[in-house]
Structure 1
Amino acid sequence: MLWMWSVHSILPAILMFCMYSTVRAGGNESSTSSCADFNSTFWKDIPHGAKLQVQYLLFTRSNAECPSYFSTESLSDPGQQSLFNSSLPTKVIIHGYRAPGTKPSWVSPLAQALLRSADSNVLAVDWVYRSFMYSVLAEEYKEVALHVSALIKELKEHGSSLKSIHLIGMSLGAHVAGFIGTLFEGKVGRITGLDPAGPSFKGHDRYNRLDPTDALFVEAIHSDTDVFGISIPVGHVSFFLNGGKDQPGCTHSLSPLSLGYVVCDHMRAIHVYISALNGSCRLWGFPCPTYKEFLNGQCLDCKKTFNGTCPEIGLQQRSGIIIDPLPQEEKLFLLTTNAAPFCTHHILLELQVWPLSKSAEVQVTLSHQGHPDTKETIKLYTKNSMYKQVMAHPVSLCEVNSIHLKNTGAWYQKDEIHFMSLCISELLSSSKDTPLCVGSFNLMKGSLWSHELVRPCESQ
């Protein structure tokens, strides 16, 4: 019966225990007593008359694993001034809902990834509200934004520029970042929304949620649009991982009864962003109206919207804003694997079949020694003769050893399928190889067709 409740009903109860991979305060802590840490105060222990507690943790390259506490007074303290450098960019991490008494364990890995990517000041905003109800926090999030805005104003007065400020908000924190941007009239340099919260925000006007006017460049990474995340684009570019809903590895490797299963999709945006910052692979997004059209091979490049250069998650972190002119709320789709570093290659399969008298189904398999096979099922219909399908494969096409097709239609679909051609190519490949095409062949029900590929990579 749990899954029949509304999202608004189950959200606070679930998040009280596990939201954002938090860990319970106390016990064996990895940090030393000299390192700043997240507030472990329970909501009921917040002093009477105070609704909100906010503190800041400062990470720099000299203390990446041992943050220090930071405040406006720190700007005038000689000891803190040696850590905070106003001539460097400043990254501000803002977590979303978390149950008081827990700590968001993903913040430190994200801060360290940001510092590896670029020398900067990284400030983590640690906020605890007196109420643990998500519905209340979704109404009062602007109070957090006011606190952070006051700090940014002080940073500006001490030499930091608004253009050098990068706000990174997770879930509810993404909308906090958006309102901070609104308070500074959209002059903040950049905002990254990591699966911006959906409940209580999808129906809001732009003023009350993250939107492209909140910063000079706004990007969002969507990974759970059907439950905790928002389903509409909220940035200049919005990356929808695997369509933005169900993420690979979240539905099979975890038990549906586990709390990790519930937030796995929501958390994926964080982990993919960290991988992108680490430079593990290039995570390009393809502009397309819908995920279905993307999978059907109708959006194969970025020539129309981005002059041929597809936006890349984390790229602007390394080389500055390069998208000019900026689009408005552009939807971008990409595929990932089921585990870090989430790297995948987008393989385009094109089939041309002789007109069918009955619908059919084929299973396509790409094989590579040392990696699991990639399988994709394609439905064939009587009215179509041309088919395109985008597949995710862990290695480049030039490393694929063989391709297999199997006629997997129902028992009554006994007609032979006549293929006039089969072509495979890799989207955005640096290789100058032309698509590999195979001539006509037939496939009976239950039979298997295989073709060995010999395409050595240019680097070999």
Structure 2
Amino acid sequence: MALLRSAVLSLLAILVYASSTAGNHTVSTAECADLSNTTWSEYRHGGKLEVQYLLLTRSNMDCATVFSKESLSDPQRRSPFNSSLPSKVIIHGFRALGTKPSWVKTLAQGLLWAEDVNVLVVDWVYGASFAYNRVVQNYKEVAVQISVLINELITHGSKLESFHFIGVSLGAHVSGFVGTLFGGKIGRITGLDPAGPMFKGADVYDRLDPSDALFVEAIHTDSDYFGISIPVGHVDFFLNGGMDQAGCARSQFASMYGYFICDHMRAVHVYISALNDSCPLTGFPCYSYDQFLNGRCVDCQETFEGTCPRIGLLERSGITVSPLPYQEKVFLLTSASAPFCVHHILVELEVSPLEKSAEVQVTLSSGGHPEMERKLKMHTKENVYKTVMASPVPLCKIHSIQLKNTGSRFYRQGDIRFQSVCISELPRKRETDAVCVNTVYLGRSFPWSHDFVLLCGSY
């Protein structure tokens, strides 16, 4: 399977690159530095391992400078690096086309808007290009080179715990090996959909794991293809179960490049969006995605003592419990576009005993937004059914709920009697947070609906 993925990526690269013009060694203006582009000739003959570093700070947010250990001791270069500030280190991953990653500047500027920090971008595009299996052979050497620079920064006053590595795909495992070289003493590692091929079955020494930093988190968005499916951090966010992200095209008419990497790159775009802190992207600890969708995990009390982890720059993702959890999976739903966050609405149906199996469609409506729908299959041995739905608005702005007996023909189920129909917003702190309607009769051919008049903050 790993070889198949590598072959697909190589074919994709050839098809796209054959129709593109050759790039330059370094794209730059007279003053500003930029990441590398691999030329077609270099790409055909395999990438060479060459690492450079770009520095951005609040004083040069729009104009990166090339950075090296010599920059610290050469007064003529006047590097804007400030050793008294925390440092964010961005590491890209495999470059199927040999081109520079387009998202780096947006991520760097998002970090700088959020915090006054040094942002170091690790440019290893040359070594990250060509065949995937050959690129994987380079990642530890890249980590060694980065560790040399980090050591130099420490001698100039930086603190090891002040470094936050943000690694994308294969870059997450580069970050992990840097952490291994420093005995897990660097401050934080964020893995954005850590690479899966050739790493899922690898020893923890060879991939990202919780021992690589004081705090390790990962965001999973493509765990069924290019991303890794196992937890690799103290806390692992699985968005929409970790695969098949909302808004990522599945049709044959989608661009080949977009079809293959949309899910994989969603972790990057969600993280960039979270830096704006416009709305919370909150995860809920649960054993599996199915259990989460079935309403079995409604709060964070048992695992995190009530404080749910959030994607973004909160210290330890907002986790206050000690000791830290280990490879804790948390789940959340997202929308198809920025800022990606949704409100998690729990629907609970308590049903009187059924004579036959049934299927009920639940629809939530809010003015000006698409309706939210979910079908629930009901059996004779259960009487409580739950489901979690993604809503663009909070509970207080949901106008109505509708139930429809969609299984009446297939299951030949007659009228259904509900003892209660309840909705609430997660995380739920109290049972009384739910809004309920009691004694509901759902006819075989006629849907049931109920309008809500709720005031935000009054329930």
Asked if Structure 1 and Structure 2 have the same fold, meaning a TM-score greater than 0.5 normalized by the shorter chain, the answer is yes
Counterpart of 2:422 in structure 1 is: 423
Counterpart of 2:170 in structure 1 is: 172
- Report the CA distance between 1:251 and its aligned residue: 3.6
Alpha carbons 1:171, 1:197 under 8 Å: kept: yes
Instruction: Provide structure 2 residue ranges, at least 5 long, that are not aligned to the other structure.
Output: none
Matches of 1:455 and 1:30, distance apart in 2 = 56
- Report the CA distance between 1:373 and its aligned residue: 1.2
Pick one of 371, 393, 411 that aligns with 1:395: 393
1:198 maps to amino acid? G
**CA separation of 1:250 and 1:347: change in aligned 2, threshold 3 A:** same
2:286 maps to amino acid? C
Q: Deviations over 1:107-134 (max 9, x none)?
A: 1111011111110000111101286110
Alpha carbons 1:44, 1:130 under 8 Å: kept: no
Counterpart of 2:340 in structure 1 is: 342
Counterpart of 2:440 in structure 1 is: 441
Alpha carbons 2:310, 2:318 under 8 Å: kept: no
Q: Deviations over 1:275-327 (max 9, x none)?
A: 11110211111111111111111111111111110111114259887453211
Counterpart of 1:51 in structure 2 is: 48
**CA separation of 1:380 and 1:129: change in aligned 2, threshold 3 A:** same
Matches of 1:18 and 1:427, distance apart in 2 = 44
Matches of 1:135 and 1:398, distance apart in 2 = 51
Aligned length: 453
Matches of 1:265 and 1:151, distance apart in 2 = 33
SS in structure 2 opposite 1:149?
A: helix
**CA separation of 1:253 and 1:277: change in aligned 2, threshold 3 A:** farther
Counterpart of 2:454 in structure 1 is: 455
- Report the CA distance between 1:357 and its aligned residue: 1.9
Q: Percent identity?
A: 59
Q: Deviations over 1:233-285 (max 9, x none)?
A: 00000000010011111146884553202111001100111111110211111
- Report the CA distance between 1:448 and its aligned residue: 1.4
Matches of 1:318 and 1:195, distance apart in 2 = 18
1:374 maps to amino acid? M
Counterpart of 1:287 in structure 2 is: 285
Which 10-residue stretch deviates more, 450-459 or 4-13? 4-13
Alpha carbons 2:359, 2:407 under 8 Å: kept: yes
Pick one of 123, 128, 153 that aligns with 1:126: 123
Counterpart of 1:91 in structure 2 is: 88
**CA separation of 1:99 and 1:49: change in aligned 2, threshold 3 A:** closer
Matches of 1:250 and 1:355, distance apart in 2 = 41
**CA separation of 1:24 and 1:316: change in aligned 2, threshold 3 A:** farther
**CA separation of 1:118 and 1:321: change in aligned 2, threshold 3 A:** farther
Matches of 1:245 and 1:334, distance apart in 2 = 12
**CA separation of 1:5 and 1:207: change in aligned 2, threshold 3 A:** closer
Alpha carbons 2:47, 2:130 under 8 Å: kept: no
Aligned counterparts, 1:28-67, within 5 A: 32-42=29-39, 44-45=41-42, 51-67=48-64
Alpha carbons 2:221, 2:242 under 8 Å: kept: yes
Counterpart of 2:152 in structure 1 is: 154
Aligned counterparts, 1:344-359, within 5 A: 344-359=342-357
1:238 maps to amino acid? D
SS in structure 2 opposite 1:53?
A: coil
**CA separation of 1:320 and 1:130: change in aligned 2, threshold 3 A:** closer
Matches of 1:286 and 1:321, distance apart in 2 = 12
- Report the CA distance between 1:360 and its aligned residue: 1.3
Pick one of 313, 316, 328 that aligns with 2:314: 316
Matches of 2:75 and 2:320, distance apart in 1 = 37
SS in structure 2 opposite 1:36?
A: coil
- Report the CA distance between 1:419 and its aligned residue: 1.2
Aligned counterparts, 1:55-454, within 5 A: 55-78=52-75, 80-99=77-96, 101-127=98-124, 128-129=126-127, 132-251=130-249, 255-256=253-254, 258-316=256-314, 322-409=320-407, 411-412=409-410, 413-428=412-427, 434-454=433-453
- Report the CA distance between 1:34 and its aligned residue: 1.9
1:137 maps to amino acid? V
- Report the CA distance between 1:415 and its aligned residue: 1.5
1:195 maps to amino acid? D
Matches of 2:166 and 2:149, distance apart in 1 = 15
Alpha carbons 1:367, 1:401 under 8 Å: kept: yes
Matches of 2:430 and 2:417, distance apart in 1 = 31
1:215 maps to amino acid? A
Pick one of 10, 13, 21 that aligns with 1:12: 10
**CA separation of 1:354 and 1:459: change in aligned 2, threshold 3 A:** closer
Matches of 1:89 and 1:98, distance apart in 2 = 28
SS in structure 2 opposite 1:456?
A: coil
SS in structure 2 opposite 1:440?
A: strand
Q: Deviations over 1:44-82 (max 9, x none)?
A: 439x99931111111111111211111111112336545
Alpha carbons 1:280, 1:343 under 8 Å: kept: no
Alpha carbons 1:43, 1:131 under 8 Å: kept: no
1:180 maps to amino acid? V
**CA separation of 1:145 and 1:30: change in aligned 2, threshold 3 A:** closer
Matches of 2:5 and 2:399, distance apart in 1 = 45
Alpha carbons 1:414, 1:444 under 8 Å: kept: no
Matches of 1:457 and 1:421, distance apart in 2 = 23
Matches of 1:297 and 1:16, distance apart in 2 = 46
- Report the CA distance between 1:374 and its aligned residue: 1.1
SS in structure 1 opposite 2:218?
A: strand
